Structure 1
Amino acid sequence: MEAQVKWLGEELFMGTSESGHTMVLDANGGNLAPSPMEAVLISLGGCSSVDVVSILQKARQSIIGCHVDISGTRVDSVPALFEKIHLHFVITGADVAAKHVERAVNLSADKYCSVALMLNAKVDITHDFEIVAS
């Protein structure tokens, strides 16, 4: 896998993935686009959500929605690494079993989400979930 990041001027950068997709990053606190650290949170949430939805679909759960609220705290030194990240999954559907959601979230965190597994060495990642009946 390969990627390229190009400086656009000021504090804006454009990342281009091997598949040709682009993403603008803003080093100025995310004023015009996500900052690189915000992109890490989004990547973690995206990776985890893909797993959770896939696992719930395979378990034949009638889900119609999934979103994850992600909060991260960073250390007060340079570099300002993430110290803790919490993912709160909100699953919407009819008759969705909590045991299946719990299993899906745990499998993503412990086995499948590459982003979470990379971050786990340095970051305390926690998660929980809620189910909203549709």
Structure 2
Amino acid sequence: MTHLVTTQWKKNVQFESDNPSGKSVLIDLGADNGGKGDGLRPKALMLTALAGCSGVDITPMLEKMKVDIDDFKIVIEGHLTEEHPKYYHLVTVDYHFYGTELNETKIKRAVDLSVDKYCGVMEMFRRFAEVKVESHYHTK
């Protein structure tokens, strides 16, 4: 299986990139790097891809396990190297689950399966960065 993405220069340092879904995203740099800040930053998009990949693993697993959650968010912090080319050398992934009675055992199982087996983006990150993962349970 392959994916094809076409990225078209719009102006200055702004690009529009499509996706196999047919949707597109605007990419731009901040004013401090010559852009207007009208789009998403390229490196941060990698963190978004990581969160999305893991999230779409976890939510269906929780549904199959009949685990009820009220809310779920993933907070990722990427630490860049100081020297060029700058890349993420340390990434922390914090999973936050919210609900009245959270089944932490089943939630942990779903997170572990995503992190260790299913999320291909997670595996890609592990090839160049130290990845730290932690789950947080917020009950009402």
User: TM (normalized to structure 1)?
Assistant: 0.92
Give the corresponding residue for 1:118. Answer: 124
Classify the secondary structure of the residue corresponding to 2:70.
strand
Of 81, 97, 100 in structure 2, the residue corresponding to residue 91 of structure 1 is: 97
Name structure 2 gaps, 5 residues minimum: none
Instruction: Quote how far apart the aligned CAs of 1:18 are.
Output: 2.5
Do the aligned partners of 1:88 and 1:129 also contact (CA within 8 Å) in 2?
A: yes
Instruction: Quote how far apart the aligned CAs of 1:93 are.
Output: 2.1
Name structure 1 gaps, 5 residues minimum: none
Matching of residue 62 in structure 1 with residue 39 in structure 2: no
- For 1:36, give the aligned amino acid: P
Give the corresponding residue for 1:129. Answer: 135
Of 7, 10, 14 in structure 1, the residue corresponding to residue 9 of structure 2 is: 7
Could you list the structure 1 runs, at least 4 aligned residues long, displaced by more than 3 angstroms after superposition. 27-30
Percent identity reads 24
User: TM (normalized to structure 2)?
Assistant: 0.89
Classify the secondary structure of the residue corresponding to 1:107.
helix
